[in-house]
């Protein structure tokens, strides 16, 4: 019901802001978890930029930490559903892996247990394709995955903390949903692009930004499946509104694009910008990934194209996903507008 109150963890993140906007547009009230008042103000500004000020009376905030119990019980008061979007994200291996895992896995457990204690049964959680498509051994160069697949961490050659965290957090969520019990749905996006609202965005967006200005390090020639952030937010909303989504996983991934293809799209649309995309040979990626850093995340993608089924999420949404090209171009155009705005007159 649009009069319901939804707690959105990680409300100030890239996905979090767009999900808050989607909920408010649909008539829901939103209580967003943030780490500071500055983050809350950033969410307010993003909401006003899309919906105007009239919806702000339905938006409130609470300061929470995934590593601490303090505040979670009060935050769950009068809540009808929880969207657990908050998660630690790093482009490279974290220095403190135990803290990273505690926020991802322990944080998920904390959110779900406090929801159950407050009598909140409905939980929608953001997972990732990182929990689906890895560690499955030698397969064909082009492989399509479905919601039935789970990453096999033991089968990964060089598992990254990100893959470990996402896989274990989702498995923990499903185990708790059965035990508590909770009505859980998980949303599993691929690389998230699309329009930016401010300078708090994902590593995928930063990659596009670096390519636009000819900056950033050399990259592998491999690629990734792209998804528009607006589709990720729409998937969370559709899951909330449709009871048939309870107990289900939904992959949210559009087109597969290689790094050279992304660069070609950007060059064509923005010919006045020095789009640069230097590439690393696969052998060097494999060598460097063993020492950690951002290349560890893409190590398992070398030599494979990982595609994801669209049918299930498109049935839930009642429409096709936005094309990968649209996600890239809307991302680039809003990044350029943001940079111009920040530069001032």
Q: So which residues are the catalytic ones?
A: 166
CA distance 150 to 171: 9
Q: Report the alpha-carbon distance of residue 135 to residue 156 in Å, rounded.
A: 4
Question: CB neighbours of 83 closer than 8 A, spacing ≥ 6?
Answer: 6, 7, 8, 9, 19, 23, 123, 124, 125, 126, 236, 240
| Beta strand pairing call for 249-252 and 59-63 | unpaired
How many angstroms separate the CA atoms of 123 and 316, rounded?
17
Q: Are 28 and 6 in contact (CB under 8 A)?
A: yes
In the numeric block, which tokens belong to residue 20?
């808050």
CB 13 within 8 A of CB 124: no
Q: φ and ψ at 312, to 5 degrees?
A: -65, -45
Angle between helices 324-343 and 259-269 (to 10 degrees): 60
169 CB-side CA count, 13 A: 34
Task: Write out the two tokens for 327.
Answer: 């996600």
Beta pairing class for 5-9 and 81-84: parallel
């Amino acid at each position: 019901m649009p009069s319901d109150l939804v707690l959105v963890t990680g409300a100030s993140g890239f996905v979090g802001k767009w999900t808050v906007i989607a909920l408010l547009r649909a008539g829901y009230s939103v209580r967003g978890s943030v780490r500071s008042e500055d983050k809350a103000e950033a969410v307010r500004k993003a909401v006003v930029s899309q919906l105007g000020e009239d919806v702000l009376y339905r938006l409130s905030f609470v300061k929470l930490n995934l590593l601490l119990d303090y505040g979670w019980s009060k935050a769950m008061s009068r809540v009808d559903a929880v969207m657990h979007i908050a998660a630690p994200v790093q482009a490279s291996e974290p220095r403190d892996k135990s803290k990273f895992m505690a926020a991802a896995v322990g944080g998920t457990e904390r959110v779900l247990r406090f929801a159950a204690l407050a009598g909140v049964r409905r939980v929608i959680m953001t997972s990732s394709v990182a929990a689906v498509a890895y560690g499955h051994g030698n397969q064909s160069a082009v492989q399509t995955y479905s919601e039935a697949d789970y990453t096999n961490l033991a089968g990964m050659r060089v598992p990254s903390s990100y893959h470990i965290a996402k896989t274990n957090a989702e498995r923990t969520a499903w185990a708790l949903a059965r035990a508590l019990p909770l009505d859980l749905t998980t949303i599993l996006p691929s690389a998230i692009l699309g329009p930016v609202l401010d300078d708090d965005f994902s590593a995928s967006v930063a990659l596009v930004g670096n390519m636009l200005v000819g900056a950033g390090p050399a990259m592998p020639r491999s690629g990734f499946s792209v998804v528009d952030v607006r589709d990720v937010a729409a998937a969370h909303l559709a899951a909330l509104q449709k009871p048939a989504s309870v107990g289900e996983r939904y992959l949210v991934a559009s087109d597969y694009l290689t790094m050279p293809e992304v660069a070609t799209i950007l060059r064509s649309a923005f010919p006045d910008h020095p789009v640069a995309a230097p590439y690393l040979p696969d052998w060097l990626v494999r060598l460097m990934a063993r020492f950690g850093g951002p290349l560890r995340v893409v190590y398992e993608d070398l030599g494979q194209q990982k595609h994801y089924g669209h049918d299930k999420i498109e049935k839930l949404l009642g429409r096709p996903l936005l094309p990968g090209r649209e996600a890239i171009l809307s991302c680039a155009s809003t990044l350029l507008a943001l940079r111009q705005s920040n530069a001032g007159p």
